[in-house]
A = this chain, B = another copy of it.
Amino acid sequence: MNQAAIDDLLGFLRFPSVSTQHDHAGDMRACAEWLRGRCEKAGLSARMEETGGCPCVVAETPKDSAKRTVLIYGHYDVQPPEPLEEWTTPPFEPDIRDGKIFARGATDNKGQILAHLLGVEQTLAEKGNLPVNVIFLIEGEEEIGSPNLGALTSKLKQELACDVIVISDTGMVVHGHPTLTFSLRGITSLEIRVSGPSHDLHSGVFGGAVANPATVVARLIASLHDEKGHVAVEGFYDDVRPMFDWEVQASEALPVREEDIRELSGVPELTGESGYSAIDRIGARPTAEVNGIGGGYQGEGTKTVLPKEAFAKLTFRLVPHQDPEEIQNLVMDHLKKHCPPGVHLEIIRGHHGEPYYTDPNSLYGHAARQALSRTFGKETALLREGGSIPILGTFQQILGAEVLLLALASPDCRAHSPNENFPLENFEAGIRLNQAVLEEIGNLPR
């Protein structure tokens, strides 16, 4: 592919734009300024929008009311690169090996959003205009939960009004396979803190007479699932609809084997809720997970304490029609009901994110599938993904537009991990995908 495009990406990747680390505030701004300039160079009218946090870059074509408007969303901030010692080459000194660019942010999300920008630039250069109006909205706080993007979207609601939203921040089901993600799980989180004794007790002097907070936390966690892996919280599945027949068929047609998932995760064997395939347990079924647990003595060897407290951090991934707040309430009721006497139970409510679902058989879904199939030369896979992108709910609510999730990440891209990478062929395909999807949307009957 063309060296200028690669050099652009290398330059973009050299900014250590880590949004969660305050000492990178200057790098964030420099990266946003570079991006704004690159949008201008591509032929767009671009500016910075202050948010109170890291700035957003907004770049757009002139509005032609005869054309549809496509909002392309992405982010220039990246996850922290630590642990640094696990990187083969430094995270902010991009290196090309085996046809892949290795750097923090290579896939998530600099490589993907730049591909869209270069696609737009190339079409403008070749044809002088685009088949649709385009607005780029590229934020700098995605990795910290987009705390300011909702307010900015509301503020710019008129300007950001669009027919459809295009995002490339999801993964291909297998490397090189066109993938339209039509569903994402929602999330609700909470933390439980169980306390009993006023101080860590001697487990001999008191053990037997008092409840052990670590045991209580363990029993509460154990109460969340039955023997078959179903979530045992009363009412948890009430709003979960069965999969549609076409969803089952689409899932079965996915070119992914359970062995691929097992290899990627590194577990000795896949397990989970009985009655569903692994891919459906991830994409189409809700879960209850422990993200962290702690209490008592965690050092080397033995310390015979009966700990004064223990905690667990829990998240529940949710599927369409489950309401995050309602599920959180059901879980809280369940935990209170199952908590034994002799301890105090504190439950700290955490954040929510709505499940996302769009019909891949809609007009825009069809355009996206066409564009993906044309770009990659294969039938587009329709995927329900297990992750969550809470901002989609905000977009749907404020802008009222459908979202198309067009995958450009490979399954082994190591986003959020050391040695994150982006294959050059994905980068090149991303440029073509942008051109194809804008063309397909532009060609839709009005």
A265 CB to closest chain B CB (Å) equals 5
Q: When the two chains form the complex, which single residue of B189, B203, B264, B385 contacts A289, counting CB atoms closer than 8 Å?
A: B203
Judged by a CB distance under 8 angstroms, whether A209 is at the interface is: yes
Q: Are A292 and B315 neighbours in the complex by a CB distance under 8 Å? A: no
Count chain B CB atoms within 10 A of each CB in A215, A293, A297 and give the residue with the most.
A293
Q: Are B214 and A267 neighbours in the complex by a CB distance under 8 Å? A: no
Judged by a CB distance under 8 angstroms, whether A429 is at the interface is: no
Judged by a CB distance under 8 angstroms, whether A327 is at the interface is: no
With contact pairs A219-B221, A291-B296, A292-B307 given, residues A267 and B350 touching in the complex (Cβ less than 8 Å): no
Q: Are A298 and B290 neighbours in the complex by a CB distance under 8 Å? A: no
A351 CB to closest chain B CB (Å) equals 7
* CB neighbours of A196 from chain B (8 A): 265-268
Bound form: Cα–Cα A304–B267 in Å: 18
Count chain B CB atoms within 10 A of each CB in A214, A215, A218 and give the residue with the most.
A218
With contact pairs A289-B306, A304-B187, A351-B302 given, residues A267 and B210 touching in the complex (Cβ less than 8 Å): yes
A319 CB to closest chain B CB (Å) equals 10
Bound form: Cα–Cα A250–B111 in Å: 77
* CB neighbours of A264 from chain B (8 A): 206
Judged by a CB distance under 8 angstroms, whether A199 is at the interface is: yes
Judged by a CB distance under 8 angstroms, whether A344 is at the interface is: yes
| Chain B: CB-nearest residue to A266 | B198
Judged by a CB distance under 8 angstroms, whether A310 is at the interface is: yes
A220 CB to closest chain B CB (Å) equals 8
Q: Are A269 and B341 neighbours in the complex by a CB distance under 8 Å? A: yes
A269 CB to closest chain B CB (Å) equals 5
Q: Which of A157-211 contact B (CB under 8 A)?
A: 171, 184-185, 187, 189, 196-199, 201-211
Q: Are B297 and A211 neighbours in the complex by a CB distance under 8 Å? A: no
Contact count band on A:
35 or more
Judged by a CB distance under 8 angstroms, whether A261 is at the interface is: yes
Q: When the two chains form the complex, which single residue of B203, B215, B265, B385 contacts A225, counting CB atoms closer than 8 Å?
A: B215
Q: When the two chains form the complex, which single residue of B204, B215, B268, B302 contacts A386, counting CB atoms closer than 8 Å?
A: B204
With contact pairs A215-B225, A265-B201, A291-B304 given, residues A206 and B313 touching in the complex (Cβ less than 8 Å): no
* CB neighbours of A290 from chain B (8 A): 212, 214-215, 218, 295-296, 307, 310
* CB neighbours of A225 from chain B (8 A): 215, 219
Q: What is the count of identical protomers in the complex?
A: 2
Q: Are A287 and B211 neighbours in the complex by a CB distance under 8 Å? A: no
Q: Are A386 and B205 neighbours in the complex by a CB distance under 8 Å? A: yes
Q: Are A303 and B291 neighbours in the complex by a CB distance under 8 Å? A: yes
A142 CB to closest chain B CB (Å) equals 14
Q: Are A305 and B293 neighbours in the complex by a CB distance under 8 Å? A: no
Judged by a CB distance under 8 angstroms, whether A89 is at the interface is: no
A22 CB to closest chain B CB (Å) equals 14
Q: Are B342 and A271 neighbours in the complex by a CB distance under 8 Å? A: yes
* CB neighbours of A302 from chain B (8 A): 189, 291, 313, 315, 350-351
A414 CB to closest chain B CB (Å) equals 9
Q: Are B208 and A218 neighbours in the complex by a CB distance under 8 Å? A: no
Stretch at the interface among A36-44, A95-103, A277-285: A277-285
Q: Are A287 and B208 neighbours in the complex by a CB distance under 8 Å? A: yes
Judged by a CB distance under 8 angstroms, whether A272 is at the interface is: yes
| Chain B: CB-nearest residue to A220 | B218
Judged by a CB distance under 8 angstroms, whether A222 is at the interface is: yes
A186 CB to closest chain B CB (Å) equals 10
* CB neighbours of A287 from chain B (8 A): 203, 207-208
Besides A189-B304, A203-B287, 12 more A-B contacts (Cβ < 8 Å) are: A196-B266, A203-B315, A208-B278, A212-B289, A212-B290, A214-B293, A215-B289, A219-B225, A268-B344, A292-B303, A303-B313, A304-B315
Smallest CB-CB A-B distances: 8 pairs: A198-B266, A204-B387, A222-B222, A218-B221, A271-B342, A208-B281, A292-B296, A214-B290
